[in-house]
Amino acid sequence: MIRKLTEKDNNQVMAFLKNEPSINLFIIGDIEAFGYDSETQELWGELDTEGEIKSVLLRFHNSFIPYAQDENALPAEGFAEIMKSYPDKIFLSGKSTLVAKFEGIEGLNLGKKQVTYFAECTSADLIGETTQEVKTATIEDVDRILELRRSIEEFFPNPNARKIMVESMENKTGRTYYIEEDGKMVASAATAAENSMSAMIVGVCSHKDNRRQGLATSVMQKLFTDVMNEGKILCLFYDNPEAGRIYKRLGFKDIGMWTMHR
């Protein structure tokens, strides 16, 4: 049985999600920040005959994330019907084995597919410190950050990116750091879905004219220091082997694959 989940289900939901806390960082973070009654998000669960949760589906704006410990417990067809009921273009992401269950479902028009590595860092031992001046962004910097991201060919900006970034700053579920030279933003990195245990690193980039100068690494070092001093685990996606080598030098380890349709 699939039904909408509410605050009354929260203890069971969190116990279920914390079986894989890094993989479920986005869902945990959004629940902690926005709860079950927000217009921007909804959560459904598939329950067995005894009322135990076997899988969940999160909607945050027009993005959906499914989760189940066992891919065979995921009701992809049922969750797909929920997703089809939303008129906007949908984004779908999650563990690759789970997202694969949705691919090919008739009427579910998924966008461009991107498969990435999913990695986490639990220790700051290899991070190091930067001598660069790294600034913390405010809401006034959002448009400049998005302009930098749009200049990166590998990025696929969400149409709701500005709203999401502003909300994350206001709700303290995300923060952004950047370096600028002569008033121009040349490198940036951010967190998303920050929760009581962890944070996802997103939007790591440097301007195409300022690459191979160590700027993105410097921004990451500042981000690492601030977030890990709060006792949180850091997670990230990557698909570029060169970037992967940088992240692993900073202490990240691969824990799985993640698929995004955008």
13 pLDDT more than 90: yes
pLDDT attached to residue 39? 87
Please give the biggest Cα pair distance in the chain: 63
Q: What percent of the chain has pLDDT over 90?
A: 54
d(CA 73, CA 246): 36
Using 50, 70 and 90 to split pLDDT, how confident is the model at 113? very high
The DSSP code sequence of the chain is: -EEE--GGGHHHHHHHHTTSTTTTHHHHHHHHHHTTS-TTEEEEEEE-TTS-EEEEEEEETTEEEEE-SSGGG--HHHHHHHHHT--SPPEEEEEHHHHTTTTT-TT-----EEEEEEEEE---TTT----S--EEP-GGGHHHHHHHHHT-TT----TTHHHHHHHHHHHTS--EEEEEETTEEEEEEEEES--SSEEEEEEEEE-GGGTTSSHHHHHHHHHHHHHHTTT-EEEEEE--HHHHHHHHHTT-EEEEEEEEE-
pLDDT attached to residue 172? 87
14 pLDDT more than 90: yes
Using 50, 70 and 90 to split pLDDT, how confident is the model at 204? confident
Q: pTM higher than 0.85 for the full model?
A: no
Give pLDDT tens digits for 186-197: 999 999 888 888
237 pLDDT more than 70: yes
Using 50, 70 and 90 to split pLDDT, how confident is the model at 157? low
pLDDT attached to residue 88? 76
Give pLDDT tens digits for 40-72: 899 999 999 999 999 999 999 889 999 999 899
CA 99 to chain centroid, in Å, comes to 15
* Mean predicted lDDT score pLDDT of the chain: 90
- Region 215-224: mean pLDDT is 90
Give pLDDT tens digits for 20-44: 888 999 999 889 888 998 888 999 9
Instruction: Catalogue all structural domains in the chain, each as residue range(s) with its CATH number.
Output: 2-111 (3.40.630), 121-261 (3.40.630.30)
d(CA 170, CA 164): 10
- Residue with tokens 């301007």, as numbered in its chain: 207
pLDDT attached to residue 210? 81
d(CA 8, CA 13): 10
Phi/psi at 221 (5° precision) = -60, -40
d(CA 175, CA 168): 7
